[in-house]
Amino acid sequence: MKKGIYILPNLFTTASLFCGFYSIIASFHGDFFKAAISIVVAFFLDGLDGKIARFTNTTSKFGAEYDSLSDLIAFGMAPALLAYTWALSPFGRYGWLVSFLFVVCGALRLARFNIQIGIVDSSVFNGLPIPGAAIVLASSVLLLDYLGEPGPVNNVFVLAGCTILSLLMVSSIKYYSFKDLNFFSKKPFMTFVMIVFLLVIIILEPEIMCFTVAVGYAASGPLWFLVRMAKKKIPGEREQKTYDHRKNW
């Protein structure tokens, strides 16, 4: 700290924090669309600060801690308050308790992530990342606004969805981290074509695609877990059948 801090990556972190704060203000005023958009912008800024720090060799312990505090506001408090003002307030005590559950699970998720750096394989996340959970809520608001339901809404599925997202964050279910992707290396030609095609689809229907990608990623962890459990179970069943056959013989 006596030597100072790196400016560029921390500016992106501050911008992400600002978007989270603005989302909270917009939620208080009932402007749910702007609140959701602010969380989406914070998501992209949060992804840039770490990459810029690594690319410019300006990573620091201060930056890592500042990023975690920013994430708690932008992807913990902001989406929780958005969900409460948008859909959970009609449920009374259950509504604000579920909102608090989202915040506390997000804080626990960040704390666990910080102490597991260098211990858990970097190619996977241990539990749903808090930005991923926030994007599911924000994209839900954007999708319903696109479909003509700007809110507030009264839907028990939002209550259940927030609860599920909270539990996924503190679970031990593995999620792909995308950290091993290298966009600076050579890729097959068709890979580039597919990326361009995907970008065109996102631009045509951003609300639908944002929701689809966010929910798909949130569901990928449990699906991956079930597939691995099924693969482990099949050899065990075969061994049991072989044992029973030999026993009968």
Q: Nearest CA to 224 among 127, 110, 87, 113?
A: 127
Q: At what angle do helices 189-204 and 206-248 cross, to 10 degrees?
A: 120
Strand partners, 124: 176
Q: Is residue 2 very low, low, confident or very high in pLDDT (cuts 50, 70, 90)?
A: low
The tens digit of pLDDT for each residue in 30-52 reads 999 999 999 999 999 998 888 88
In a domain, 130, yes or no: yes
**8 Å CB contact between 70 and 16:** yes
Environment class of 14 (CB within 10 Å of its CB; exposed 0-12, middle 13-18, buried 19+): middle
**8 Å CB contact between 222 and 175:** no
In a domain, 169, yes or no: yes
Amino acid at 163: T
Q: How many CB atoms lie within 10 A of CB 30?
A: 13
pTM higher than 0.95, yes or no? no
For residue 194, what are the contacts with CB-CB under 8 A and spacing of at least 6?
Answer: none
Alpha-carbon gap, residue 103 to 80, rounded angstroms: 6
In a domain, 197, yes or no: no
Q: Which residue has the higher pLDDT, 57 or 211?
A: 211
Determine what percent of the chain is predicted with pLDDT higher than 90. Answer: 56
Question: Which CATH number covers residue 133?
Answer: 1.20.120.1760
Q: How many domains does the chain have?
A: 1
In a domain, 146, yes or no: yes
In a domain, 230, yes or no: no
**8 Å CB contact between 138 and 95:** no
Domain containing residue 47: 7-182
The tens digit of pLDDT for each residue in 212-226 reads 999 999 999 999 889
Environment class of 216 (CB within 10 Å of its CB; exposed 0-12, middle 13-18, buried 19+): exposed
- Mean pLDDT of all residues belonging to the chain: 87
What is the arithmetic mean of pLDDT over 93-116?
94
In a domain, 38, yes or no: yes
In a domain, 192, yes or no: no
In a domain, 72, yes or no: yes
Q: What is the DSSP letter of 119?
A: T
What is the rounded radius of gyration, in angstroms, for the C-alpha atoms of the chain? 21
